Amino acid sequence: MLLVVQNDPRVPLGTYADYLAEAGAPFRTIRPYAGEALPNPAGIGAVIVLGGAMGVNDVAKYPFLDGVKDFIADTVACKVPLLGICLGGQLLAHVLGAPVVCNSPWGEKGTLPVTLTVPGSADPLFREIDRRFMTFQWHNDSFAIPNGGELLASSSTCPNQAFRFGANAYGTQFHPEINREIIENWSSWSPETMACSRDLLADFAASAAAYNAASHRLLLNFLQLSGLGNKTQTQ
């Protein structure tokens, strides 16, 4: 069973819900922001922690984040495969003792390329993904690589795009789960993003085929390394 942790009602599973159904991988979504309790990760097949508009230190405003941090720490301790996306990756880095810079100089928005490091090219999460591939970015904060972690991907604007800790805990700064509807929603959040909404959507449409291919492969690779790649039931 794959457990999806959704931290923000505006940041859903997106295309990954469709890809999981196509792959026949059973999954369940927990929404701690709505008061849903996170389970003991022991016995869970794998975990995906999604993003959110908040930061890792915004616990006073979003007290559920403390429980998510504890859950991530327990998941890593249990060696359950974990993929943290954007805020999820920042939370993983934070739990592992790495700083996360708020409103960092490495913020990005839009459809942008990322390049795998030499270890990233050899990592099973990025199997059959081009060394330079398209991603979607929407972040102001940025994580450092935890001690003992390995940098897997980088870009000219944001040097820390993906890392692995241990055998199977991964954090990405980029979003691999985005679709057009999500971009439209996020673009409505502020006057600044509304002003560039047309460009954001046009850039995404121009690179959608390459973006979707890399994102789909990344999820299939995560399912494979988690031992969930051959399941046939969804829920």
pLDDT confidence tier of residue 230, bands split at 50, 70 and 90 = low
Number of domains forming the structure of the chain: 1
104 found inside a domain = yes
Answer left, alpha or beta for residue 128, where phi above 0 means left and psi between -120 and 50 means alpha: left
pLDDT digits (tens, 9 = 90+) for 165-221: 999 999 999 999 999 999 999 998 888 888 989 999 999 999 999 999 999 999 999
Can you give the pTM of this predicted structure? 0.95
The answer to whether residue 232 scores a pLDDT higher than 50 is no
Q: In this structure, is residue 235 part of a structural domain?
A: no
Q: pLDDT tens for residues 106-133? A: 989 999 999 999 999 999 999 999 999 9
pLDDT at 190: 86
Cβ(58)–Cβ(65) below 8 Å: yes
Beta bridge partners of 164: 150, 170
Indicate the pairing of strand 108-116 with strand 149-154. antiparallel
In whole angstroms, give the CA distance from residue 161 to residue 113. Answer: 10
Residue 192 known to be catalytic: no
Looking at residue 194, what is its pLDDT?
Answer: 87
Q: Is the residue at 232 inside a domain?
A: no
Is 216 designated active site? Answer: no
pLDDT band at 231 (very low <50, low <70, confident <90, very high): very low
Are 84 and 72 a contacting pair, CB within 8 Å? yes
* Marked catalytic residue, from 94, 139, 158, 175: 175
Domain of residue 187, CATH code: 3.40.50.880
Which residue of the set 108, 139, 177, 216 is catalytic? 177
Q: What is the CA radius of gyration of the chain?
A: 16
**233, part of any domain:** no
193 within some domain: yes
Phi, psi of 134 (to 5 degrees): -90, 140
In three-state secondary structure terms, 19 is: helix
* DSSP for residue 40: P
Confidence grade of residue 233 (pLDDT, cut at 50, 70, 90): very low
Could you tell me which residues are beta bridge partners of residue 138? 109
Which pLDDT belongs to residue 94?
A: 98
Q: pLDDT, tens digit, for every residue of 51-108?
A: 999 999 999 999 999 999 999 999 999 999 999 999 999 999 999 999 999 988 898 9
Handedness of CA 231, 226, 133, 197 (dihedral sign): positive
Give a yes or no: residue 234 inside a domain: no
Spatial distance between the Cα atoms of 220 and 167, rounded to a whole number of angstroms: 17
Identify the pLDDT of residue 192. Answer: 85
Q: Which of 86, 94, 139, 216 is catalytic?
A: 86
Is residue 187, in this structure, part of any structural domain at all?
Answer: yes
Q: Is residue 181 part of a domain?
A: yes
How many CB atoms are closer than 10 A to CB 233? 8
Digit-coded pLDDT (tens) for 19-62: 999 999 999 999 999 999 999 999 899 999 999 999 999 999 99
* pLDDT value, residue 8: 98
Is residue 234 predicted with pLDDT exceeding 80?
no
Q: Give me the domain span that covers residue 103.
A: 2-226
Beta strands in 22-96 (DSSP E): 27-30, 46-49, 82-85
Residue positions counted in the chain: 235
Whether residue 128 lies in the annotated active site: no
